[in-house]
Amino acid sequence: MLKIFKSYVSTNLITATWSIFLAIGGLIFFSYYWMINYLPIFDIQSYLALLITFSLGGLITALTLTIIQILPSFIWNEFILKNEYINKNLILIPYQNTPINLRAFTCYFLIPQIIFITGFTAILFNENILFFLLNILSLFYCINLIEKNYNNKKTISNILRGIVLFFLTLTFSLIIILPIFFIFTIIFKTNGLNEGFKLFFSFAFSIILIFINYISIQSINTPPVKYKHLVPAALSLFFLFYLFLISDSFKNIPLSLMKTYQLGNITPKQIILEKNSCKLIKLNGIIPVENNDYCIVENVEILSRVGAETLLKHKNKRFTIESNAIVSISDNIK
Angle value at C-alpha 288, between 282 and 290, nearest 5 degrees = 115
Alpha-carbon span 277 to 291, nearest angstrom: 13
Residue 230 exposed, middle or buried by CB count within 10 Å (0-12, 13-18, 19+): buried
Sheet architecture: strand order including 309-314: 301-304, 309-314, 317-322
Give the H or E element holding residue 229. Answer: none
Residue 234 sits at φ, ψ, to 5 deg, of -65, -40
Mean pLDDT taken over the chain:
63
CA distance 58 to 13: 16
Q: Is residue 58 within 8 Å of 28, Cβ to Cβ?
A: yes
Give the highest mean pLDDT range of 56-65, 218-227, 230-239.
56-65
pLDDT of residue 281: 82
**Pairwise pLDDT comparison (61 vs 84), residue with the higher score:** 61
Query: Global pTM?
Result: 0.52
Burial of 129 (0-12, 13-18, 19+ CB in 10 A): exposed
User: What mean pLDDT is predicted for residues 280-286?
Assistant: 81
Averaged pLDDT, 78-94: 51
pLDDT exceeds cutoff 60 at 86: no
> What confidence tens digit (pLDDT) does each residue in 97-147 have?
444 444 444 444 544 455 555 555 555 555 445 444 544 544 455 445 544
Residue of higher predicted confidence among 32 and 4 = 32
